[in-house]
Chain A
Amino acid sequence: MPTLDRRRLLGATAAAGSVFLSSMKAHAKFSGDVQLRGQIGRYERLPTRDLESLEDFRTSLRSFINTDFQRAANRRAVEIFREAGLDPREEVSMEEAISILEADPIIMNQTHAWITNQLAMWRDTQDYFHSQADLYLSEMAAADNAGPGSLELNPGMHIPEYTAWEIHNQPGGYVGDPFAGHMYHHGTNNLWIHLNEQDGMHQSIAESAPVPDDGRVKRCLDMGCAIGQSAMGLKERFPDAEVWGVDIGAPMVRYAHMRAADLGIDVNFAQRLAEDTKFPDDHFDIVTAFILFHEVTIEGAVDIIREAHRVLRPGGKFLAVDGSFLVKQPVKTAAHRWRTWWTDQWNSEVWYMPYDEYDFPKAFRAAGFNVGSTPGPMYSGGQEYIMGIKPT
């Protein structure tokens, strides 16, 4: 996960967000809203003290696993190569990298610690929301038809299997658990070590979304919107625009809509595929996709890029933000192989290996985009950006 800079993440965007929210307060809260422990800013606290404490501790444990423990594992990997008379900068095959590194107790202990912590985080959140299922299902049902904004669910739609994996080991993935949105929200706060509790990261992405040269922004779309944080950020930046978020996960867009209604932010959410959004041609001025492409197949990615091109009007701009988007490692070292395999195997980012090899700027051009440069979001992290401009 990216390393975030607290000052840039929260400082630069908090002021704009709070002004917007204060102006929307009169619309906030739908009838049936459940807030057992209140809200801090735009973050609804976890529903019990003990669950919050569990997650707090897991955040510290995660930090240790990702820093001191990771460095120990890295040191050990270098030693293993030295002992074997190998140069860690040289290319090796995936099989060779795995066989060299997976037998080491420090490396595997670090891996096991990370996975154990991750699985426990999901399990505790899932267990809680399922233990109170009637309460939280009723809350979502109450919000389904509340405004501002709208929600479209399509229970009969075909869900492609590639979208149904338990990415990041999240139980049920984005489609298979009624509380996928709840888990995703609290889980990603843990993954981002609580630095995104006020949605600052997503707001910074929305702030950096490139505007068409004529300055006209009437409609925006966030593809693969998850729980709607980027879409809400777009609405906050362009209050007069019609903003949509689409995601294949019904529980995700239900939560997104509930949260937007709770915050009084007028965004429309729909359960639709990013590669088949159902919107007319030339409809949007801006399209965004945040950390979507590494979670889809290459075939899916190509279709999504084509769809973004189709729904953008001439001169419209597509901002795609993802990890390792542009820099492809020319030499596949053991460390790179190991990390790639690790991501696929143990973080269940099952489409990551082909993603890691794919030339995305080329795919953007093939779909008809001019590929431009963008300063990118204000937060500093491991993400990279591609801006596609639909020719006029």
Chain B
Amino acid sequence: MAEKMTSPRIYDQPTYAADYVKTDAPSGVYLTDAHVDNLMQIVYSLGTEIWVDRQRNRIVESLLASKKQVTTEAIEQYIPTEEEKAAWQGEQDALVHRVYSVLARDTSGHRKFSKSRF
């Protein structure tokens, strides 16, 4: 059941936050049990973390290619060109497809080998 919550964090300044009603969604069990849910969550998180590193690599490569200084600040402030944005989007979509499309495959004709052999 949803429960009433008080805004959890207290700061020195006024926050104007009020009490709220918490959602059930994070405590749901969606797959065979909560541990399998956790494992799948790790799978999605790892994909995301790979992309974060890859995007930093792409920015470093762009800075080096244009003979600019590679600093943390330069990476943070980097604004991609339209061509780079399109290329990154394609690379990102391709990564999602390569890693996760298996989840959407049609398994209706699949069977355990033990059943087919014996």
What is A's interface to B at a CB cutoff of 8 Å?
36-38, 40, 48-50, 53-54, 56-58, 60-61, 63-64, 68-69, 71-72, 75-76, 79, 105-106, 108-113, 115-120, 130, 133-134, 137-138, 141, 153, 155, 159, 161, 164-166, 169, 172-173, 175-178, 180, 250-251, 254, 271, 345-348, 350
Q: How far is the CB of B106 from chain A (nearest CB, A)?
A: 7
Q: Contact: B20 with A165, CB < 8 Å?
A: yes
Quick one: which of B16, B40, B47 contacts A57, CB cutoff 8 A? B47
A79 to B101, CA, bound (A): 20
Contacts of A165 in B (CB 8 A): 2, 20-21, 23
Residues 73-118 of B at the A interface (beta carbon under 8 Å): 75-79, 88-89, 92-93, 95-97, 100-101, 103-108
User: Knowing A61-B47, A71-B104 touch, does A112 contact B19 (C-beta < 8 A)?
Assistant: no
Q: Contact: A38 with B31, CB < 8 Å?
A: no
| Most chain B C-beta atoms within 10 Å of own C-beta, residue among A68, A76, A153 | A68
Q: How far is the CB of B34 from chain A (nearest CB, A)?
A: 11
Q: Contact: B15 with A137, CB < 8 Å?
A: yes
* Cβ-based interface call for B65 (8 A): no
Q: Contact: B40 with A112, CB < 8 Å?
A: yes
A contacts with B: majority SS:
helix
A37 to B48, CA, bound (A): 21
Contacts of A115 in B (CB 8 A): 25, 28, 30
Q: Contact: B30 with A137, CB < 8 Å?
A: no
Q: Contact: A49 with B41, CB < 8 Å?
A: no
* Cβ-based interface call for B61 (8 A): no
Q: Contact: A117 with B44, CB < 8 Å?
A: yes
Quick one: which of B20, B78, B92 contacts A60, CB cutoff 8 A? B92
A183 to B11, CA, bound (A): 18
Q: Contact: B21 with A161, CB < 8 Å?
A: yes
**Shortest beta-carbon contacts, A-B, top 6:** A176-B20, A178-B15, A250-B16, A112-B30, A72-B104, A57-B51
* Cβ-based interface call for B18 (8 A): yes
Contacts of A106 in B (CB 8 A): 103-104, 107
Q: How far is the CB of A50 from chain B (nearest CB, A)?
A: 5
Contacts of B22 in A (CB 8 A): 166
Q: Contact: B55 with A134, CB < 8 Å?
A: no
Residues 16-56 of B at the A interface (beta carbon under 8 Å): 16-26, 28, 30-32, 37, 40-41, 44-45, 47-48, 51-52, 55-56
Contacts of A138 in B (CB 8 A): 13
User: Knowing A64-B96, A134-B11, A178-B11 touch, does A173 contact B21 (C-beta < 8 A)?
Assistant: yes
Q: Contact: B25 with A169, CB < 8 Å?
A: yes
Q: Contact: B23 with A169, CB < 8 Å?
A: yes
Q: Which residue of B lies closest to A107 (CB)?
A: B30
Quick one: which of B21, B32, B51 contacts A53, CB cutoff 8 A? B51
Q: Contact: B37 with A112, CB < 8 Å?
A: yes
Q: How far is the CB of B116 from chain A (nearest CB, A)?
A: 20
Other A-B pairs beyond A113-B44, A137-B15, A172-B20, 11, CB < 8 Å: A54-B51, A61-B48, A64-B97, A64-B104, A69-B103, A71-B104, A113-B100, A116-B41, A173-B20, A176-B19, A178-B9
Q: Contact: A164 with B21, CB < 8 Å?
A: yes
Q: How far is the CB of B114 from chain A (nearest CB, A)?
A: 19
* Cβ-based interface call for B1 (8 A): no
Q: Contact: A178 with B16, CB < 8 Å?
A: yes
User: Knowing A64-B97, A69-B104 touch, does A120 contact B19 (C-beta < 8 A)?
Assistant: no
Quick one: which of A50, A72, A155 contacts B16, CB cutoff 8 A? A155
Q: How far is the CB of B91 from chain A (nearest CB, A)?
A: 10
* Cβ-based interface call for B7 (8 A): yes
Contacts of A58 in B (CB 8 A): 48
